Amino acid sequence: MAAGRNCFIITFPFLFTVSIFVLSVFVLISSTFKDSIAGKLYLLKLDISDLSVTIDGTTVNKSDISTLPDYYQVGLWTYCQGTREDLGSASETDSTYSYTLTNCSKSHGLFYFNPLTVLEDAIGMGSIEDYPSSIDTALKSVKILSYAMAILFCLSAIFAVFQFGAGLFSFHSRGGSCCAMIFSIINFVCALAAIAIATALFLAESKAFTNDTLNTTAELGKISIGLGWGAAAAALLSSVFWLFSICVGSTRSSVSEKVVYTPVENPVLPHQRF
C-alpha cells in the first residue's frame, strides 16, 4: 500500500520535471533549422520588406538591394532569414502574408542579435543614420543579456535531468525527494531568470523596431516565449510537489515484518513458582 501511494505522489513531480526539459528544449532549438519545427519557433521576427534607411546622407530602400531578405527571425543560437509573400487582403488595412525561410546562419554558442549591425553588414554601404534613440536604448545591453539568457536556459535543461535522476531514488527515500526538490528550486530560478530576460529584451526590440523611420515592423515570438514561461511554471510546480512528497510520502517497506518466536528452554509455569 505504501509503495503504491509513493508512486502516485511522485508521479506528479516527475511529469512536471519531464515538462521542464521538453519545453526548455523547444526554446533552445528555436530558429536553428529552417525545415523543421525549429523553423516555426522564434523569439523575435523583424520584417524589413519595406525598409528605408539613411546611409551617408543617402536614402536606401529595400528595393534598391536585391540581396536583402524580407525578414529575419531570431533564436538563442542563430537567426534565419526569408521571403514574404502578400496573399491579398479583404480590406486596405488588413493584409495577410506568407513567410518562407530561405536559410539560417551558423549556430554559435556566444550569439547575440543586433539588428542594426546585421542590416549594415547586409547592405554593405556604411552605418545607418538618423534612427530613433529608442533603438539604442533597446540594444544597450543586448550582448550581455543574450549570453546570460542562453546560459540560463541551458542550465534549466541540465538541472531538469539532475532533478529526474534524483527523483528515481525518491520512491523509498525522502533524501532522494529532498535532492530532487533542491534541483527543482535551482531549475525554477534559472528558468524564471532566463525567460524574464528573454521577454524583456525581445519585447523592447520589437517595440523599438516597429517604427516609421526605418519602415520596419517587429513582433515578439509568442510561442517560444510562452514555452519558456511554461517551463518556469513547471519548475515551480515540481518544487511544490517534491516538497509534498517529502511531507506525505512514506519510506517504510511494503513487506510486512515477520514475528519470530524463540523457544525458551525449561519455561517456568505460573503454578511452579511456589
CATH architecture under which domain 2-252 falls: Up-down Bundle (1.20)
Question: pTM to 2 decimals?
Answer: 0.83
Residue 157 has pLDDT above 50, yes or no: yes
Across the chain, mean pLDDT equals 85
Domain boundaries, the chain: 2-252
HSE-CB at 257 with a 13 A cutoff on CA atoms is 5
Q: What's the distance, CA 177 to chain centroid?
A: 25
Higher pLDDT, 3 or 60: 60
Q: What is the pLDDT of residues 66-95, one digit of tens each?
A: 889 999 999 999 999 999 888 766 555 556
Closest CA to 242 of 159, 155, 183, 161: 183
pLDDT digits (tens, 9 = 90+) for 56-72: 888 989 988 888 999 99
CB burial readout 41-69, b (16+ within 10 A) else e: bbbbbbbbbebbbebeeeebebeeeeebb
Please list, in sequence order, all residues whose beta carbon lies within 8 angstroms of the beta carbon of residue 261, skipping any fewer than 6 positions away. none
What is residue 7's three-state secondary structure? helix
In the chain the beta strands, taken as DSSP E runs, fall at 44-47, 52-55, 58-61, 71-74, 79-86, 97-104, 128-129, 217-220
pLDDT score at 167? 81
Distances (CA, A) of 85 to 49, 79, 80, 236, 272: 10, 20, 17, 42, 108
> d(Cα 242, Cα 14) in Å, to the nearest integer?
9
